[in-house]
Amino acid sequence: MEERKKQLETEEKLIREKEKVVKKEFKEFWQVAIDFIKELFNIRKYADKEFTRQTILESIPFRGHSAWLLIFSIMIASVGLNVNSTPVVIGAMLISPLMGPIMGAGFSIGTNDVETFKKSAINFLVMVSLSLITSFLYFKISPFDTASHELLARKTPTFFDVLIAFFGGLAGIVAITKKGFFNVISGVAIATALMPPLCTAGFGLATSQFDFFYGAMYLFFINSFFIALATFLVIKYLRFPVAHYLNSVKRRRISRIIYFLAILVVIPSILTFINIYQQEIFKQRANDFIHKEIVYEGTQVIKSNVDPVHKEIDLYLIGEMVPLSVIKVWKEKLPEYGLQDVKLNVYQSADKTNEIEQNISEKVKEQILEKLFIENKKVLESKDEQIQALSRKIQQLQQKLEIGDIPFQQISKEAKVLFPRIKEISYGENLYTNFKKTDTIPTFLIKWNKRLPYSVKKKEVSKLQKWIQTRAKLDTLRIISLN
């Protein structure tokens, strides 16, 4: 009995010791994991503060080359927006020096440097003025005075613009704090899209469409502020040295002024952020309501306008008349989607009171006609593709009647002589589709020597395709390598 008791005590002791070892190992494992994560995201260790400071200070002024570079890039972006060319706009943003004064402002606030803040503010105003004057002059002389889709896209800021500006600003300042990552700034300039809103504002001034001017400038200042805010946060996190003043009273006064200005900008920006977020939520709920609830047999929604400011939803319908009882049910379902106190306006093409004609704007009419034109164009293009596919099939059949079947045996023998690295050849006519059109294409399956390098095989396939097309008199041909 005593021996059994001692044995149990020994086993319990061993279990406790094992538990201690497991807990120790587990603790060590978590410590290693935490240290790894800290090292993985550690930017303080590799930050070059002097390089960052010099880089930001050098990018603030707009003088000489940078001023001309700004003018030229604004002109290129204006042309791209005017002719609805996204690649041109992206190219202009790549060469634009707009980020300098904005990041300079965030840096100066973070380091309590009032002189740098003044320089950043002055150069920011110079930058905006030069951009507006350049874009205004271009759009004033441009023969194209209608708003393209690229211009319309910069008229109203969205919640996602705020997110892009903030995280783009974070990427920009983090990249600058380490040598070798400065090329990231070009990508940040494209992502945050500072230049297109300024060009759009110039368009609004030149064409006296002030809704474009106000909306685009609003978007530009939102982007600018959140880039500066991101810079400020990173500078503070990296603990950059703050500017020191001999007079302690002056230093405290300057600190208070800078932080007061920062708070003065932050408060409306937070309110703006919340407002934009709420508008996006409203639009999302409204679109969800339209897609799920606005269904009536024989009727189609050709246009919908969602106005989050006035809390209104305008629907433009064509087809069968929707009874008032159905519209009433639609209105009753609005609260289910979180759309309380929202006014639903329904305009129908068969409305004898001509209410749709009175309420629909010329712009909406153009969009409706454009939508109908696009839909009809798609139908016609689909029919054209079918006709072209049939024509190609007829031509292929005619070719077969004229030259007979492809002499596969002869071609394979000749191919083995000309291309000795081929091991096997198969032939067939395969149905091929890219989901836009379907066609029958002669296809050769080739099995090559396994030791043949990929670069050599690629050249051999190209030569083989040209040879077979010439030898067999084929217009189209596919070569597929099986290895």
**176 and 238 housed in the same domain:** yes
pLDDT (average), residues 378-392: 69
What residue numbers bound the domain in which 88 lies?
A: 49-243
Assess whether pLDDT exceeds 50 at residue 42. Answer: yes
**312 and 365 housed in the same domain:** no
Assess whether pLDDT exceeds 80 at residue 263. Answer: no
Q: How confident is the model at residue 349 (pLDDT cuts 50, 70, 90)?
A: low
Q: Is 283 inside a domain boundary?
A: no
Q: Which residue in this structure is represented by tokens 């077979």?
A: 468
pLDDT of residue 404: 44
pTM: 0.55
Query: β-strand 299-307 against 312-319: which pairing, if any?
Result: antiparallel
Q: How confident is the model at residue 45 (pLDDT cuts 50, 70, 90)?
A: confident
Q: Is 91 inside a domain boundary?
A: yes
Task: State which H helix or E strand residue 318 sits in.
Answer: strand 312-319
Q: Is 173 inside a domain boundary?
A: yes
Question: What value does the CA radius of gyration of the chain take, rounded to a whole number of Å?
Answer: 34
**How many whole angstroms separate alpha carbon 380 and alpha carbon 368?**
18
pLDDT of residue 397: 58
**91 and 192 housed in the same domain:** yes
pLDDT (average), residues 246-263: 64
Closest CA to 57 of 195, 240, 218, 206: 240
Note the Cα 4 to chain centre separation in Å: 73
pLDDT of residue 249: 66
Q: Is 22 inside a domain boundary?
A: no
Q: Is 279 inside a domain boundary?
A: no
Q: How confident is the model at residue 375 (pLDDT cuts 50, 70, 90)?
A: low
**Looking at residue 241, what DSSP letter applies?**
P
pLDDT of residue 244: 65
Q: Is 57 inside a domain boundary?
A: yes
**394 and 411 housed in the same domain:** no
**299 and 194 housed in the same domain:** no
Kindly report the CATH number assigned to the domain that includes residue 411.
3.30.70.1350
**How many whole angstroms separate alpha carbon 371 and alpha carbon 368?**
5
**88 and 229 housed in the same domain:** yes
Three-state DSSP class for residue 431: strand
How many domains does the chain fold into?
4
Average pLDDT over all residues of the chain: 78
Top pLDDT among 307 and 375 is at 307
**189 and 238 housed in the same domain:** yes
Q: Is 265 inside a domain boundary?
A: no
**178 and 314 housed in the same domain:** no
Q: Which residue in this structure is represented by tokens 């190609």?
A: 392
pLDDT (average), residues 370-377: 57
pLDDT of residue 207: 87
Q: Of 371, 401, 431, which residue is a domain's last?
A: 401
pLDDT of residue 403: 39
**413 and 368 housed in the same domain:** no
Assess whether pLDDT exceeds 60 at residue 402. Answer: no
Q: How confident is the model at residue 364 (pLDDT cuts 50, 70, 90)?
A: low
**165 and 211 housed in the same domain:** yes
* pLDDT 10s digits, 423-468: 888 888 877 777 777 778 888 888 888 788 878 888 888 888 888 8
* pLDDT 10s digits, 323-332: 888 888 898 8
Q: Of 222, 243, 264, which residue is a domain's last?
A: 243
Q: Is 92 inside a domain boundary?
A: yes
**81 and 106 housed in the same domain:** yes
**How many Cβ atoms sit within 10 Å of the Cβ of residue 384?**
11
**How many whole angstroms separate alpha carbon 438 and alpha carbon 115?**
68
**143 and 180 housed in the same domain:** yes
Q: What are the b/e assignments for 34-62, b being 16+ CB within 10 Å? A: eeeeeeeeeeeeebeeeebbebbbebbbb
Kindly report the CATH number assigned to the domain that includes residue 61.
1.20.1080
Residue 112 tokens, joined: 């309590």
